[in-house]
């Protein structure tokens, strides 16, 4: 199959463009026809045809071999087959090779041809010679040099633009890295310290307390704090990791299988929570399993903060090739302790996670009272179970 890459390879001598091939063919054919039609040569026809054919091939391949095109054009001018190919050849050498010995040699050779063929026998012939040399040699040379410098300028500007874009990306990457390091330091210095204090005090309380119920609750607090510290350590590792891979989750992220443990931890903490899980658990992608786990986790946290003591029901089911996760709670059973301040981004974070996993989520007041969070994810059979 003929592909774009093969086309570019075949047209490499013409800068990979079809229009350049067509243009060079038209120029070569037109110059050859014009020179043969208006030729003033007394050379044998065979030599004339041979030189014309050489000029045609040289002009057709002038982008790749500009000096060959110039030699063929000079040979044609020497036998009197015309000077139009000379103009094209001098222009091509100047545009392709730029200022240098090759260009100056080509220009001198072109002027020398005019001097040899049109040596002025009288003083009146010098203006004609100067005009012809300027028109057929000097003018094409300067036009080619202008095109050469323009191409160099375009390349330089493109390189500067690419460099500026790379520097901008580098500065943005450095800013992101610095911000991630700052967040990691703040989380370590503030959050990790506070959670560690909670874990230590809860552990001490579970050992020293004479009340079994108090000891059990303190032990739950200690385990929860220890788990939070472990997850926080994973998050800090992600924030400080300089690897460019997309590492947005801890090494062992929770999934559907961890929802049961999450419910047990909430029940041990005193929450009236029940769960309905399918048996066996459906196969999901890692992103869907993590998002479902985080939805249940955040919903339980919100229920504990805003409706303390209320009964909570967690339902995970498969319905019409979709994974449906519902967390509902009744209205609060009574006034509890002072409410725990929230960040205000819990629902936003849930929606973002669900959306990234390809699902949809809605939340709000339920018809029978209380609050309902419902998330739906597409199931892709055959994926590894989370």
Q: How many CA atoms lie within 13 A of 114 on its CB side?
A: 22
Nearest to 376 by CA among 366, 386, 362, 364: 362
pLDDT at 206: 82
pLDDT at 335: 46
pLDDT digits (tens, 9 = 90+) for 130-142: 787 788 888 889 9
CA distance 112 to 126: 14
The 10 Å CB-count burial string (b at 16+, else e) for 167-196 is eeeeeeeeeeeeebeeebeeeeeeebeebe
- The strand pairing partners of 329, in sequence order, are 312, 371
pLDDT at 35: 64
Residue reference for tokens 């493109």: 158
CA distance 127 to 143: 22
Rounded to a whole number of angstroms, the CA Rg of the chain reads 41
pLDDT digits (tens, 9 = 90+) for 322-342: 899 999 987 765 544 555 555
85 contact partners, CB below 8 Å, separation of at least 6: 31, 32, 35, 55, 58, 59, 69, 72, 73, 76, 77
CA distance 24 to 30: 10
pLDDT at 307: 80
CA distance 26 to 32: 10
CB 351 within 8 A of CB 364: no
Instruction: Dig out the tokens for 319 from the structure.
Output: 């319905």
Apex 82 CA angle, 80 and 83, nearest 5 = 120
pLDDT digits (tens, 9 = 90+) for 160-173: 999 999 999 999 98
Q: How far is CA 118 from its chain centroid?
A: 63
pLDDT at 315: 92
pLDDT at 38: 54
Q: How many helices (H) and strands (E) does the chain have?
A: 13, 5
The ranges assigned to domains in the chain are: 4-119, 254-386
CA distance 359 to 289: 12
Apex 149 CA angle, 147 and 155, nearest 5 = 105
CB 129 within 8 A of CB 120: yes
Strand arrangement, sheet containing 273-276: 273-276, 312-318, 322-329, 371-378, 360-365
CB 262 within 8 A of CB 293: yes
Quickly state the pLDDT bin for 246 (edges 50, 70, 90).
very low
SS3 label, residue 313: strand
**Residue-averaged pLDDT of the chain:** 79
pLDDT at 382: 42
CA distance 290 to 357: 9
Q: What integer is the mean pLDDT of 80-100?
A: 83
The answer regarding whether domain 254-386 maps to CATH 3.40.50.720 reads no
Q: What integer is the mean pLDDT of 67-96?
A: 81
CA-CA-CA-CA torsion for 204, 208, 209, 210, nearest 10 degrees? 160
Q: What is the pTM of this model?
A: 0.48
Quickly state the pLDDT bin for 5 (edges 50, 70, 90).
low
Instruction: Dig out the tokens for 301 from the structure.
Output: 């946290």
Give me the percent of the chain exceeding a pLDDT of 90. Answer: 14
DSSP string across 215-233: HHHHHHHHHHHHHHHHHHH
If residue 236 lies in a helix (H) or strand (E), which one and from where to where? helix 212-240
CB 144 within 8 A of CB 93: yes
């Amino acid at each position: 199959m003929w592909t774009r890459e093969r086309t570019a390879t075949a047209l490499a001598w013409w800068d990979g463009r079809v229009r350049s091939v067509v243009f060079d063919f038209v120029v070569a054919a037109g110059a050859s026809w014009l020179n043969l039609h208006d030729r003033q040569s007394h050379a044998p026809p065979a030599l004339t045809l041979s030189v014309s054919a050489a000029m045609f091939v040289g002009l057709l391949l002038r982008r790749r071999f500009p000096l060959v095109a110039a030699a063929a054009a000079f040979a044609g001018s020497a036998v009197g087959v015309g000077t139009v190919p000379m103009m094209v050849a001098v222009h091509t050498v100047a545009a392709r090779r730029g200022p240098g010995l090759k260009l100056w040699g080509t220009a001198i050779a072109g002027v020398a041809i005019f001097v040899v063929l049109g040596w002025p026998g009288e003083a009146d012939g010098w203006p004609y010679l100067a005009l012809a040399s300027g028109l057929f040699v000097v003018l094409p040379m300067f036009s080619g040099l202008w095109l050469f410098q323009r191409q160099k300028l375009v390349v330089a500007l493109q390189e500067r633009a690419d460099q500026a874009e790379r520097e901008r990306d580098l500065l943005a990457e450095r800013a992101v890295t610095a911000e991630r390091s700052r967040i990691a330091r703040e989380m370590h210095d503030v959050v990790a310290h506070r959670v560690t204090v909670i874990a230590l005090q809860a552990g001490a309380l579970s050992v020293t307390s004479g009340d079994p119920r108090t000891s059990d609750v303190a032990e739950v607090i200690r385990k929860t704090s220890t788990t939070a510290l472990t997850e926080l350590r994973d998050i800090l590792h992600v924030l400080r990791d300089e690897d460019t891979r997309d590492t947005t989750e801890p090494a062992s992220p929770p999934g559907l299988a961890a929802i049961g443990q999450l419910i047990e931890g909430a029940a041990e903490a005193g929450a009236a929570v029940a769960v309905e899980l399918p048996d066996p658990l459906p196969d999901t992608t890692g992103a869907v399993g993590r998002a479902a786990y985080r939805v249940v986790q955040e919903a339980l946290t919100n229920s504990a903060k805003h409706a303390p003591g209320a009964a909570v029901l967690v339902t995970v089911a498969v319905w019409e090739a979709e994974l449906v996760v519902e967390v509902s709670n009744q209205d609060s059973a009574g006034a509890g302790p002072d409410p725990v301040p929230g960040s205000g981004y819990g629902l936003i974070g849930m929606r973002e996670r669900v959306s990234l996993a390809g699902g949809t989520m809605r939340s709000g007041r339920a018809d029978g009272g209380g609050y309902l969070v419902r998330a739906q994810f597409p199931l892709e059979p055959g994926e590894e179970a989370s």
